[in-house]
Amino acid sequence: MVAFETLSTFLIAAAASLFMAWAIGAGSSGSTPFAPAVGANAISVMRAGLIVGVLGFLGAVLQGANVTEAVGTELVVGEPLTATAAIVGLITAAVLVAIGVFAGYPIATAFTVTGAVVGVGLAMGGGPAWPKYVEILTLWVLTPFVGGGIAYGIASLLRGDRLHEDYLIAGLGGVIGLIVANIGFAFLGPPDGQGSIAGALGGRLPLPAFGGIAGGLVASLALAGLAASALWFVLRRDRTAGQRRFLLVLGGLVAFSAGGSQVGLAIGPLIPLLGEIQLPIWAVLAGGGFGLLLGSWTGAPRMIKAISQDYSSLGPRRSIAALIPSFVIAQTAVAFGIPVSFNEIIVSAIVGSGYAAGNAGVSRQKMVYTVLAWVGSLVVSFVLGYGIFSLISLVR
């Protein structure tokens, strides 16, 4: 039976985690996925907030385990986080993110949570996890260049006359279908792992191999072709409506991916405590997803407006160009269990697509302030996490 003191401490940590999840839902995961769609007038601000909350919850439950484990157990070596450390780290990060939400600047949640967790972990006496830090920093540094570069390339192709626009967008739809067919879902895999749609379908094909090609690859190509054909059909009937529908699908996929990634930032610090209270991880994922949902419904509209209108004047083509690399980078981070900032992903892609139109509507001053906020959030959260926990340890 769980001791009353242990249970009480865990409930306090869980409350801090829920606050963190709300702040994330109101900030990065709730605002960024549909911001390009709102900027292209494909969906209203309030409706975007409602939809992204539901999709973020589903992503948290179905894809949240990898990043959650990384944040909870892989950022510091030698010393697992205690309940006090988890509470200090979560509250420190949540307050900083909430300040960014109400100030109208997208604080990078991954930077803030990572800095706070590493700070309290080192203050406890843990050691730096240098290999994990290299992995994380590599993704963080590459994201603006890769995401912005891909967005620039796609936007340039859509603006050019070398390829027929409908063929190009349908082809992009096929690429997205191929990726969706191969991303991992908890309900398709074994109890301790994940499985893909292509893997599940490929295993049931009457001919599991054809000419050396695995059944999963056959299923992947079939689903990609189905997605491209369906999008082509819609575009031929009404190009504008087809582009907006594709844009909404992309926004939904990014929102789902955001839930799978960002929930780990909120509940990851609770992972070392689960053994003491014998609580399954799926229950914690559901709780974190609920917090994301509440944040998206109550606080996201303000940030959606800030990102969709302040960074770049987006049309459907540039919005599509921004969301495709955002989805790819997000799923890469989820697959490798790397905490990543969705503000960094989306903003970089939006700016990249904006430069394809000759720098139209891109606010350089806003971008400078945003980058400073990202770097500052990492440093400040680390210093506060380390300092507050050290002070508490001295008092105790």
pLDDT in tens, 150-161: 999 999 888 877
Report DSSP letters for 249-283, one per residue: HHHHHHHHHHHHHHHHHHHGGGGGGHHHHT--HHH
What is the pLDDT at residue 311? Answer: 47
**What whole-number distance in Å separates Cα of residue 390 and Cα of residue 396?**
10
Dihedral sign, Cα of residue 105, residue 54, residue 147, residue 155: negative
Domain boundaries, the chain: 4-395
Strands 76-77 and 127-128: antiparallel
pTM summary value? 0.86
What is the pLDDT at residue 1? Answer: 47
What is the pLDDT at residue 313? Answer: 60
Phi, psi of 216 (to 5 degrees): -65, -40
- Quote the crossing angle between the two packed helices 165-182 and 215-237, to the nearest 10°: 140
What is the pLDDT at residue 6? Answer: 67
> pLDDT tens track of the chain, all 396 residues?
455 666 777 888 888 888 888 878 876 666 667 776 776 677 777 788 788 889 999 999 999 988 998 998 899 998 788 888 888 998 898 888 777 767 766 567 889 999 999 999 999 998 999 999 999 999 999 999 999 999 999 998 888 777 788 899 999 999 999 999 999 887 777 766 778 888 888 777 665 555 445 677 888 999 999 999 999 999 999 988 898 889 889 989 998 998 998 899 989 888 888 776 777 888 889 999 999 998 888 877 766 766 666 544 667 888 889 899 999 999 999 988 999 888 788 888 888 887 876 655 556 677 777 778 788 889 999 999 999 999 988 876
Maximum Cα interatomic distance, the chain, rounded to a whole number of Å: 70
Dihedral sign, Cα of residue 257, residue 262, residue 263, residue 265: positive
